[in-house]
Amino acid sequence: MSSIRTLVAATIMTGTAGLVALTPATAGDYNGNVMVRAGVTVVNPESSADVFAGGARLAGADAEVSTEVIPSLTLSYFFNKNIAVELFCCFAKHEVEGKGILNNAKLGDFWIFPPALTLQYHLDPVAGFKPYVGAGLQYIAFFDEGRGDATVGGGKIKLDDAVGFTLQAGVDYQIGSGWYLNADVKKTWLETEAVWTGTNVRADVDVDPWIFTAAVGYRFNLFAPRYAEPLK
């Protein structure tokens, strides 16, 4: 728990410094057309797998992908006061644990790069709170896969990159001078295939992550406003 608290504090401090560095010539503006957020994200996959050997499904065999806590960044552009597009990105390392296979041992690990692009609708603010909802796509690139404690036939896990559908809900809270506190949740439905190199073992994997984020945001005008009405 202490390591998580340290990560949260370090990420917020680093992200806040980064936001200031990114916008030295811009004043904070709650009607601005750009918002940058830095935060801490929990990636919690609701994973399951059908495991096959030589084309035959292994009864009772399953796999579970680990939950991880990571730093994250988002960049949003507001077309008007209610419509925005957001890009979310981060890096995470996950482990795969067998269920009903090889004594539930670790089967491998991998890094992911999972950018998500969502189109959002932001409600008008009430008492400083500004809720929003969104929908879009998430692309997950898997790389730097490693062997587990008990490898499947001596092979290393490899996963196909995948695209999934994402829903999102969140809220920004104004804390002054263009700064916000943010809470956000995303749910992605995503399928991929895992193979173990040099073997006839593969798995159809549902990853389906929940993505929970707490962040600090800064909103400003990067471009001259094109609309007469305030964005709010």
CA distance 117 to 137: 6
User: DSSP string spanning 83-123?
Assistant: EEEEEEEE-EEEEEEEESSGGG-EEEEEEEE--EEEEEEEP
pLDDT of amino acid 211: 96
What is the pLDDT at residue 79?
95
Domains of the chain: total: 1
- More reliable by pLDDT, 82 or 63: 82
pTM of the model: 0.80
What is the amino acid identity at position 221?
N
Would you say 21 and 64 are in contact if contact means Cβ atoms under 8 Å apart? no
Q: Which residues pair with 71 in a beta bridge?
A: 40
Q: Which domain holds residue 52?
A: 2-220
Residue 226 belongs to a domain: no
Mean pLDDT (the chain, rounded): 81
pLDDT digits (tens, 9 = 90+) for 186-208: 999 999 888 877 778 788 888 89
Residue 227 forms part of a structural domain: no
In-domain check, residue 45: yes
CATH number, position 195? 2.40.160.20
Question: Could you tell me the CA-to-CA distances from 209 to 12, 135, 164, 189 in Å, in that order?
Answer: 23, 15, 10, 7
pLDDT in tens, 12-41: 444 444 444 444 445 678 889 999 999 999
How far apart are alpha carbons 82 and 80 in whole angstroms?
6
In a domain, 230, yes or no: no
Q: Which residues contact 210 (CB under 8 A, 6 or more apart)?
A: 42, 43, 44, 45, 46, 185, 186, 187
Is residue 27 a part of any domain in this protein?
Answer: yes
Closest C-alpha to 88, from 131, 128, 120: 120
Residue 130 lies in a domain: yes
Q: How many CA atoms lie within 13 A of 83 on its CB side?
A: 4
The answer as to whether 228 is a domain residue is no
Enter the DSSP assignment of 124. Answer: P
Residue of higher predicted confidence among 47 and 183 = 183
Tell me if 180 is assigned to some domain.
Answer: yes
pLDDT score at 80: 92
